[in-house]
């Protein structure tokens, strides 16, 4: 019987190695797998490359990992969001590297890896500082920039409901980066509010199909 | 200071003016800041569908106090709502809509715009802070019409509509219309065309606050917004 459920967040993030690229879904504080980030803090992996839209807030989740000196590089579109003092201090101390990528380019680079493609040409950032050093091509008279696929070793996903196969549904705008990141990593780990019986999720409403999911853990009130 | 014979538009009035150009059935993304205010000034009875980069199509107004939903935020991470008919998509699809030319209008803020429609709105290169680009570059290339709402001059009174931008570009030659607190200006292959000016403004005075040469449209109109309190849809 397939059962991707694990009992603890520690089991969920077991085996993450030093130097891993970790896809951290969410937009601001919404749709972020904070329990898994805390478990990753406990787990101890170092020299992490984080792919996220923002750079963490306060001293929890991603910010806590940064404050603990565990992050070597952040690939994101907008680090300046909310109380991002953890990132700012590390950035000013030059203890981590920032790769700034337009928001739609980050998500498409991950989708591209998930789709088994070798990259894509995009008009976004053409002729700007963010395109410096990148291959360009004029396509139908318009300048495009070559963008490489982006792959995670691990993805930390926040979903609403899962079944034991790992089919996932989301809530409202907490969906954001979760479905695309869930597709783009070797190991996809999910925290959910609730598990339901196989067959209970409306097949028309499943957003992330089980093929992309490796481990599921229930967090919060129903854990 | 010499008293001015004219009154610049408020932020709300600039947003009101931009909202008047949104058409029935338009799919529209509103940038962070003044553009966000435009949602409140769409004329009553006109159905405009708002898109938010974090995966909302059919974004509604701010929630009433006490009805905020932690899973409903807009691009600025402020709490928002969904209108009937609205739906959710994931990030890659939200940006497919932006980049792929599916939006009718992208309404953006700007630090500077050049006479050829170059846009600078993502970084002032302040060395004390990390840069952030977010969705700015995506929004500046994809929509069918890219329009900007901006104060006509800097706080020091220097022009922000320039021959060439001094800040790093977000995208080249993308802006088609500028709504400032003094005028509405179209970016055309023949240069900047003033189609509306506030009451009491003259082309000469407007030119003094604008670096590139302005032309006045033969059929130009007076830009006369209602008082902000009257403009907001009931």
| Residues of chain A contacting residue B90, judged by C-beta atoms under 8 Å apart | 107, 175-180, 207
Residue B168 to residue A129, Cβ atoms within 8 A: yes
Query: Which tokens sit at A1?
Result: 């019987």
CATH of A18-100+151-222, picked from 3.60.15.10, 3.40.50.300, 3.40.1080.10, 1.10.260.30, is 3.40.1080.10
Residue ranges of chain A with per-residue pLDDT less than 50: none
- The three-state (H, E, C) secondary structure of B119-132, written as one string: EECCCCCCCCCCCC
The pair phi, psi for residue A45, each rounded to 5°, is -60, 140
Going by their DSSP bridges, the two strands A142-147 and A120-122 should be labelled as antiparallel
> Does residue A167 belong to the interface with chain B, where contact is any CB pair within 8 Å?
no
**Considering only residues 83 to 112 of chain A, which have any Cβ-Cβ distance to chain B shorter than 8 Å?**
87-88, 91-92, 98, 100-105, 107-108, 110-111
Pair type for strands A48-51 and A71-76 = parallel
Q: At what angle do helices A103-114 and B91-99 cross, to 10 degrees?
A: 120
What DSSP line would sit under A66-131, residue for residue?
A: HHTT-EEEEEES---SSS-HHHHHHHHTT-SEEEE--HHHHHHHHHHHHTT---EEESTTTTSGGG
Q: Per-residue pLDDT tens for A88-139?
A: 999 999 999 999 999 999 999 999 999 999 999 999 999 999 999 999 999 9
Interface size, chain A vs chain B, as Cβ–Cβ contacts under 8 Å = 137
Contacts of B88 in chain A (CB under 8 A): 170, 172-173, 175
In 3D space, the residue among A154, A152, A165 whose CA is nearest the CA of residue A216 turns out to be A165
Chain B within 8 Å of A39 (Cβ-Cβ)?
Answer: no
- Return the number of other C-beta atoms located less than 10 Å from residue A210's C-beta: 18
Res. B87 pLDDT band, cuts 50 70 90 = very high
Q: Is B234 exposed, middle or buried (0-12, 13-18, 19+ CB in 10 A)?
A: exposed
Name chain B contacts of A98, Cβ cutoff 8 Å.
Answer: 130
CB within 8 Å: A107 and B52: no
CATH says B11-224 is which class?
A: alpha beta
- Pairing mode of beta strands A152-162, A21-24: parallel
ipTM: 0.96
- In percent, how much of chain B has pLDDT > 70? 95
Measured in angstroms, the CA of A185 and the nearest CA of chain B are apart by 15
A128 Cβ under 8 Å from any chain B Cβ: yes
Distance CA B151, CA B147 (A): 14
Exposure string (b/e) for A13-43, b if CB count within 10 Å is 16 or more? beebeeebbbbbbbbbbbbbbbbbbbbbbeb
Query: How far is the alpha carbon of B76 from chain A, nearest alpha carbon, in Å?
Result: 9
Query: Where are chain A's structural domains?
Result: 18-100+151-222
Q: Say how many C-beta atoms besides its own lie within 10 A of residue B104's C-beta.
A: 18
Q: What is the pLDDT of residues B150-193, one digit of tens each?
A: 999 999 999 999 999 999 999 999 999 999 999 999 999 999 99
Tell me which residues of B are annotated as active site: 53
Place B4 in a pLDDT band, splitting at 50, 70 and 90.
low
Determine, for residues B89 and A175 on separate chains, whether the beta-carbon distance falls below 8 Å: yes
Q: Where are the domains of chain B?
A: 11-224
């Amino acid at each position: 019987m397939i059962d991707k459920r694990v009992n603890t967040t520690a089991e969920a993030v077991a085996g993450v190695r030093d130097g891993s690229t970790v896809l951290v879904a969410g937009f601001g504080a919404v749709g972020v797998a904070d329990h898994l980030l805390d478990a990753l803090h406990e787990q101890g992996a170092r020299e992490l490359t984080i792919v996220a839209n923002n750079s963490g807030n306060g001293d929890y989740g991603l910010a806590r990992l940064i404050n603990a000196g565990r992050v070597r590089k952040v690939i994101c579109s907008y680090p300046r969001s909310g109380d991002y003092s953890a990132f700012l201090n590390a950035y000013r101390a030059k203890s981590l590297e920032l790769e700034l990528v337009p928001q739609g380019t980050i998500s498409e680079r991950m989708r591209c890896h998930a789709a088994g493609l070798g990259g894509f040409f995009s008009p976004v950032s053409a002729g700007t500082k963010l395109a410096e050093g990148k291959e360009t091509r004029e396509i139908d008279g318009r300048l495009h920039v070559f963008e490489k696929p982006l792959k995670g070793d691990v993805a930390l996903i926040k979903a609403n409901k899962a079944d034991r196969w790992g089919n996932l549904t989301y809530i409202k705008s907490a969906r954001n980066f979760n479905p695309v990141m869930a597709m783009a990593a070797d190991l996809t780990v999910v925290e959910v509010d609730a598990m339901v019986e196989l067959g209970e999720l409306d097949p028309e409403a499943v957003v992330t199909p089980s093929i992309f999911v490796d481990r599921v853990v229930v967090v919060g009130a129903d854990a | 200071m010499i008293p001015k014979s004219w009154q610049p538009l408020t932020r709300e009035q600039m947003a009101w003016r931009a909202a008047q150009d949104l058409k029935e059935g338009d799919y529209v993304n509103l940038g962070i800041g003044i553009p966000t205010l435009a949602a409140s000034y769409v004329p009553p009875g006109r159905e405009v569908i708002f898109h938010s980069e974090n995966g909302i199509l059919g974004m509604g107004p701010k929630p009433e106090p006490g009805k905020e939903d932690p899973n409903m935020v807009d691009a600025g991470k402020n709490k928002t709502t969904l209108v009937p008919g609205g739906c959710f998509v994931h990030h890659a699809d939200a940006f497919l809509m932006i980049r792929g030319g599916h939006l009718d209008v992208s309404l953006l803020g700007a630090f500077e715009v050049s006479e050829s429609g170059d846009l600078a709105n993502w970084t002032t290169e302040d060395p004390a802070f990390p840069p952030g680009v977010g969705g700015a570059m995506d929004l500046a290339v994809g929509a069918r019409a890219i329009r900007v709402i901006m104060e006509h001059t800097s706080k020091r009174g220097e022009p922000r509509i320039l021959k060439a931008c001094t800040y790093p570009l977000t995208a080249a030659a993308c802006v088609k219309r500028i709504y400032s607190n003094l005028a509405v200006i179209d970016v055309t292959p023949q240069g900047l065309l003033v189609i509306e000016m506030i009451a009491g403004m003259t082309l000469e005075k407007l030119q003094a606050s604008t670096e590139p040469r302005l032309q006045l449209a033969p059929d130009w109109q007076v830009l006369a917004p209602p008082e902000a309190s009257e403009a907001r849809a009931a």
